[in-house]
Structure 1
Amino acid sequence: MIVNNRKHGIFSVPEEARQLSYNQDNKHSTITIKDALTNVFQQMRVSGNRERTIESYNYIFKQFVDMTQIQYVEDITLDSIYSYLDALNVSRETKLIRLKSLKAILSRFHNNGWVQKKFWSTIQIKIDKKVKKGTAEEDIKKLITLIDQSTFIGLRDTVAILMMYKTGIRIRTIGELLEQHIDFDNLCLNLDGSIMKNHNYLKLPIDDELANMLKALIYMNSRIRSYYNRNNTNVFITQNGCSLNSSKSSNNAISKQLNKYSKIYGLENINAHALRRAYAKDLLNKGASVPLISKALGHSDIAVTTQYLELDVDEVANDLRKYI
């Protein structure tokens, strides 16, 4: 039973009622980090995030929880994040990656109303960014001449290298590319959102050389699938006729082959990401605008594209000399 406070009359809120009333400080219900992550990851799946991305976030946040022994969302503080980062025996670049993952999950906590303020936004890790080079055109040409294209693996790898260099598509997309995505009549790739990292439709042109090599590869694929009784329409398959992307990792068979070629032939920057950068740099050298290159790469943020096109100091000086 609630009794009125005589001092302030009917307008006074008694202690018993104050305990029952809405408390601004407690409007965010206590939630365990485990439950919060379960909800967030479910939201990410519904939004279309890849399972590989979710697993990465889960690994990093679980590491943070294990090292700080925090159980509830409301107990996460600046000090706990700094303590976690200080305890990591990794490079500053790796710490930056871990911090970005923490911030991404904490932002979702905030969006769900479990955290009032984005206090983590002030945390910064400064690193000296290294200019990542794209594969040199001469190295690409040299590699193609060295690969034995009389074998299925050699033909497949050569077509994959040319595909990444001439279209800039990701290694993961290479593994998920289907025959239906290739329009030979109009010489273009029609990439639907299901195989794109940003889930947006993208149309990219291809030249006659690449189109003819793709036709040869598709012919070989049909023979191999028939022999092993496989049922798929993937453009790039294993020597046993299976899909390349059998695991959640982006390190598929072609990626491993590129690493092997780099070691065998002593060529630098022979990897999927370097080939993608080479495509972007080639477009820039041919006069394409940064927004156009960003669209071609399937980037959601043009800032990512500018990182792809980052020039070293000598290139900047040489380009500026044209305007003196």
Structure 2
Amino acid sequence: MSKSRKHGIFAVSGDVVALTTMNREEVRNAITIETALETVFKQMKIGGNRERTIQSYDYIFKQFIEINKLEYVEEITIDSIYHYLDSIEVSQRTKLIRLKSIKAVLSKFYNNGWFSDRFWTTIQIRVDKEVKSGAKLSDIEKLLQLIDQTTFIGFRDAVAIKLMYKTGIRIRTLGELKERHIDFENLVLSLDGSTLKNHKHLKLPIDDEIANMLKTLIQLNNGIRNYYGTENFNVFITQNGLPMNTSKSSNFAISKQLNKYAKRFGLQNINAHAIRRAHAKNLLEKGASIALISKALGHSDLAVTTQYLDLDVEEVATNLRDFL
């Protein structure tokens, strides 16, 4: 019996033997980018990635290899990535998105053993954060006038808007606010760590107007909870007596209401974040220091606070002149 017949299905061809004797570097360099992408995208599909994500990676990476005229994985270098970024005429923000996509694909190449190091990680694109301006006080006042406060929803929303503007409280914290957090005697909100993003205790002053509105809202809440048989001590609840942050049907109901009001009344920049920023700007205009504003907003550092204040060049120059 011949040697090849003896081994049968276990016989190994000469080509495969030659391949196994190649060193790791030669195997890596033999892979075309097209083959590598097919493998990676199959892995992504098995891993549960959305088809839309895969298509986006495919488009960006093929644009990258087309601009650089690349064919093999080994031809991809840090210079080719820089060349691609310099060649595309898009905004810095779009370049950042495309760089992230390329890095994601290259990381998968690395995980498959086609690269010996992650040289692309050193490439960075700096993009200035888009500064969102605060709501105008005139728009907030107009909104409060237009809301029908004779209904529970309307009154609740009006109290929420006033409280956000007067204290700068976050919309998430608003949903977690309990009756025990309100000190009516000393006119402060005493917020414990469970309600705040930074998990630190914070006290925020309120005025008599806000205090009276909160007392009225709590009375209305009691009537609604009794009617629907619900039990909770949340200050802001749904029309069915449920806490906002746990209701599947009305989660962040006030945020949705603000969007509706903005469209209905033709108001620009009316949302929870914009109202919070308006509170910060109001404090600054009244003479509060950035350090104090930062503390009141519960920010981790002053850089976040300065973004909230959205100061332009002229404002900075005018304010600095007082210290000359």
Aligned length: 240
Q: Are residues 1:154 and 2:135 paired?
A: no
Residue matched to 1:300: 300
Provide the rounded CA distance (Å) in 1 between the counterparts of 2:161 and 2:254. Answer: 9
Residue matched to 1:241: 241
Contact 1:131 1:311 (C-alpha < 8 Å) held by counterparts: no
Contact 1:131 1:312 (C-alpha < 8 Å) held by counterparts: no
Contact 1:178 1:234 (C-alpha < 8 Å) held by counterparts: yes
Provide the rounded CA distance (Å) in 2 between the counterparts of 1:316 and 1:158. Answer: 33
Residue matched to 1:133: 133
Residues 149 and 125 (structure 1), Cα distance of their counterparts in 2 relative to 1, 3 Å cut: same
Q: Which amino acid aligns with 2:185?
A: D
Provide the rounded CA distance (Å) in 1 between the counterparts of 2:176 and 2:96. Answer: 31
Q: Cα deviations across residues 64-92 of structure 1 (Å, max 9, x unaligned)?
A: 9x969xxxxxxxxx98xx89xx9xx9992
Question: Normalising to structure 1: TM-score of the pair?
Answer: 0.63
Q: Which amino acid aligns with 1:213?
A: M
Q: Are residues 1:283 and 2:274 paired?
A: no
Residues 312 and 214 (structure 1), Cα distance of their counterparts in 2 relative to 1, 3 Å cut: same
CA positional deviation for 1:182 = 0.5
Q: Are residues 1:230 and 2:230 paired?
A: yes
Contact 2:92 2:125 (C-alpha < 8 Å) held by counterparts: no
List runs of 5+ in structure 2 lacking aligned partners. 1-48, 59-76, 104-116
Contact 2:147 2:154 (C-alpha < 8 Å) held by counterparts: yes
CA positional deviation for 1:188 = 0.3
Residues 94 and 175 (structure 1), Cα distance of their counterparts in 2 relative to 1, 3 Å cut: farther
List runs of 5+ in structure 1 lacking aligned partners. 1-58, 69-77, 103-116
Residue matched to 1:191: 191
- What is the RMSD computed on CA atoms of the aligned residues? 4.1
CA positional deviation for 1:307 = 1.1
Residue matched to 1:92: 93
Q: Which amino acid aligns with 2:154?
A: G
Question: Normalising to structure 2: TM-score of the pair?
Answer: 0.63
SS of residue paired to 1:190: strand
Provide the rounded CA distance (Å) in 2 between the counterparts of 1:296 and 1:152. Answer: 29
SS of residue paired to 1:174: helix
SS of residue paired to 1:243: coil
Provide the rounded CA distance (Å) in 2 between the counterparts of 1:149 and 1:119. Answer: 60
Provide the rounded CA distance (Å) in 2 between the counterparts of 1:283 and 1:94. Answer: 37
Question: Which protein has the larger Cα radius of gyration, Structure 1 or Structure 2?
Answer: 2
Residue matched to 2:22: none
Q: Which amino acid aligns with 1:92?
A: R
Provide the rounded CA distance (Å) in 1 between the counterparts of 2:280 and 2:228. Answer: 38
Query: Within 5 A, what are the aligned runs for 1:1-324?
Result: 92=93, 122-246=122-246, 252-316=252-316, 318-319=318-319
Provide the rounded CA distance (Å) in 1 between the counterparts of 2:134 and 2:120. Answer: 34
Residues 212 and 316 (structure 1), Cα distance of their counterparts in 2 relative to 1, 3 Å cut: same
Q: Cα deviations across residues 15-38 of structure 1 (Å, max 9, x unaligned)?
A: xxxxxxxxxxxxxxxxxxxxxxxx
Residues 203 and 321 (structure 1), Cα distance of their counterparts in 2 relative to 1, 3 Å cut: closer
Provide the rounded CA distance (Å) in 2 between the counterparts of 1:240 and 1:154. Answer: 14
CA positional deviation for 1:323 = 7.0
Q: Cα deviations across residues 269-298 of structure 1 (Å, max 9, x unaligned)?
A: 110000110111111111111111111001
Residues 166 and 139 (structure 1), Cα distance of their counterparts in 2 relative to 1, 3 Å cut: same
Identity %: 63
Q: Cα deviations across residues 172-201 of structure 1 (Å, max 9, x unaligned)?
A: 111111111100000001111111111111
Provide the rounded CA distance (Å) in 1 between the counterparts of 2:306 and 2:121. Answer: 23
Residues 186 and 137 (structure 1), Cα distance of their counterparts in 2 relative to 1, 3 Å cut: same
Residues 120 and 200 (structure 1), Cα distance of their counterparts in 2 relative to 1, 3 Å cut: farther
Contact 1:93 1:127 (C-alpha < 8 Å) held by counterparts: no
SS of residue paired to 1:149: coil
Residues 248 and 120 (structure 1), Cα distance of their counterparts in 2 relative to 1, 3 Å cut: farther
